[in-house]
Amino acid sequence: MKILIGEIAHETNTFSKVKTTVESFKQWEWLHGEAIINKHRKVRDYLGGMIDRAEEIGVEVVPTFSAFAMPSGIITQETYERLVYELINEIKVAGNFDAICLALHGAGVVEGIDDLEGGILTAVRNVVGYEIPIVVTLDLHGNITDQMVKEADALLGVNFYPHVDSYERGMEAIDITKRILLGEVQPKMSLKKLPLMIPTSTTNLSPAKDINQLCWNREEHESILDCTFFHGFPYTNIPEVGVTILTVTDNDQDLADKTSEEIADEVWKRRKEFFPPIVSPIEGIQKALKIDGYPIVINETSDNPGGGTPGDGTHLLSAMLQENLRNACFGFIYDPEVVNIAHEKGVGATIEVNIGGKTDDMHGDPIPIKAYVKTLTDGRFVQSSPMGKGGKINYGKSARLIVNDLDIIVCSKRSQTLDEQIFILHGIDVTTYKIVALKSSQHFRAGFEPLANTIISVDSPGLSSFNLKFFNHTRLAGPVYPFNEEDELLKRNEWSKK
Ligand SMILES: [Zn+2]
């Protein structure tokens, strides 16, 4: 049994002005053949799960092409053509094989193509036909489309946000593929779309946690192979944006339809709970200072580079400087220009720079600071968060600057902060600090919940704000909660009649 594996993953924030190019992918991952195995074996991600599981059960995997770019703006047409070419070319030269397992995301958007994943799967089908099973893993932030359902045999989404189970989903993809090839199962899928968009919602807390439990209860049924609550990616201006439920059964379309409908009902009933009160950076800091104990982790959800934002937003950092915080650290802000100046001047120097706020004018202005250069590093470490544990990370040249009693880490690549490793790299033990600030919406929880006294999420204008009304969705297929009034929504969907 021989299974081809590959990955093309991008979460596209169409409201970002930063276009996604071949270079954007090459900065993070652009691998062919054996290099994919070498990078992902024993790493807790989708491909790691596929590789390890196949080796464990004696299935041969053939690595094809793997590309990942940090979430950002729309993918150029030229980049899309290149991505598809690289994957298809590897499939063509692979010789005989029995099936394909792909790690896709689900929220990729290309200039002129709203559905990256649907496009990739159709291109693959054009080459391999419909006899070869194709099983796909997806991020729960995927905006799932009918085209993806049509072209794949089974779509498997991660259940957790933070996505700590991508490895398990990779393993599951291999297992289901093997069962399809042995004739043990015949997957049937049902996709239920809700007229609903939700801000980033961790599954560590209700209501998303409860919906997961409902899905898992359904998976107890012997004919239900998978039932996933896809949150969708709201920062996308396409008609097929929003929450979906996808059920995969063993050859039982009615059961798949019924299950997706019923879980969709439950999500719809609880839709208002997905919108927590919004806390500004200043309010968050004041709240933190009233709490005994430490560390208080403050996450800037509105500038989460993991959701396609610039990563150089200054709303939270400027509030921290304004409050003249003691025993506080910020890790990290993206600003290669400031990093270069720090590296030129060296450890022990005092530099005067304008930090952050350079990508656009939505995420705050550059802040003039006079800072002491404490540490300089290459920005490389091994991820320790349960999400992606073992992965080799490279944030480029980095620096730890000190302004009064505030430590600020600055890096040359855009990313959210997933664990305390970037702090450790710069000599900071976050467990001794009163306030630890970072940029991330929910993924940081996997690394920081075990060590934080309290977590406070703050929001301000930004490309990943909780405030969805801040975005101008001009292409919605019809009324959508939370933008439309109840009576308009009533006309569109059947759930609210109940
Ligand atoms: Zn995600």
Find the 261 Cα to ligand 1 centroid distance in Å. 23
Closest CA to 174 of 35, 31, 62, 43: 62
Cα-based distances in Å from 103 to 100, 149, 260, 311, 330: 10, 15, 23, 25, 33
In this predicted structure, what is the pLDDT of residue 490?
63
Supply the Cα-derived Rg of the chain in whole angstroms: 23
Find the 138 Cα to ligand 1 centroid distance in Å. 9
Q: What does the alpha-carbon distance between residue 183 and residue 363 come to, in Å, rounded to a whole number?
A: 53
Helix (H) or strand (E) holding 118: helix 116-128
Find the 48 Cα to ligand 1 centroid distance in Å. 17
Find the 140 Cα to ligand 1 centroid distance in Å. 6
Find the 400 Cα to ligand 1 centroid distance in Å. 29
Q: What does the alpha-carbon distance between residue 203 and residue 214 come to, in Å, rounded to a whole number?
A: 12
Find the 200 Cα to ligand 1 centroid distance in Å. 9
Find the 251 Cα to ligand 1 centroid distance in Å. 29
Find the 182 Cα to ligand 1 centroid distance in Å. 32
Structure tokens at 154: 């089974």
Find the 446 Cα to ligand 1 centroid distance in Å. 13
Find the 161 Cα to ligand 1 centroid distance in Å. 7
Find the 22 Cα to ligand 1 centroid distance in Å. 21
Find the 321 Cα to ligand 1 centroid distance in Å. 31
In this predicted structure, what is the pLDDT of residue 494?
53
In this predicted structure, what is the pLDDT of residue 485?
73
Sign of CA dihedral 441, 443, 447, 453: positive
Find the 367 Cα to ligand 1 centroid distance in Å. 31
Find the 160 Cα to ligand 1 centroid distance in Å. 9
Find the 12 Cα to ligand 1 centroid distance in Å. 11
Query: In 243-397, at which residue ranges do the beta strands (DSSP E only) sit?
Result: 244-250, 296-300, 328-334, 350-355, 367-377, 380-382, 392-394
Find the 71 Cα to ligand 1 centroid distance in Å. 10
Find the 228 Cα to ligand 1 centroid distance in Å. 13
Find the 372 Cα to ligand 1 centroid distance in Å. 36
Find the 440 Cα to ligand 1 centroid distance in Å. 12
How buried is residue 340: exposed, middle or buried, by Cβ count under 10 Å (0-12/13-18/19+)? Answer: middle
Find the 115 Cα to ligand 1 centroid distance in Å. 16
* pLDDT one digit per residue (tens) for the chain, 498 residues: 999 999 999 999 999 999 999 999 999 999 999 999 999 999 999 999 999 999 999 999 999 999 999 999 999 999 999 999 999 999 999 999 999 999 999 999 999 999 999 999 999 999 999 999 999 999 999 999 999 999 999 999 999 999 999 999 999 999 999 999 999 999 999 999 999 999 999 999 999 999 999 999 999 999 999 999 999 999 999 999 999 999 999 999 999 999 999 999 999 999 999 999 999 999 999 999 999 999 999 999 999 999 999 999 999 999 999 999 999 999 999 999 999 999 999 999 999 999 999 999 999 999 999 999 999 999 999 999 999 999 999 999 999 999 999 999 999 999 999 999 999 999 999 999 999 999 999 999 999 999 999 999 999 999 999 999 989 999 999 999 999 877 676 665 554 444
The partner residues of 154 in beta bridges, in order of sequence, read 135
Beta carbons of 12 and 72 less than 8 angstroms apart: yes
Closest CA to 394 of 138, 70, 72: 70
Find the 64 Cα to ligand 1 centroid distance in Å. 23
Find the 139 Cα to ligand 1 centroid distance in Å. 5
Find the 417 Cα to ligand 1 centroid distance in Å. 14
Find the 11 Cα to ligand 1 centroid distance in Å. 8
Beta carbons of 471 and 15 less than 8 angstroms apart: yes
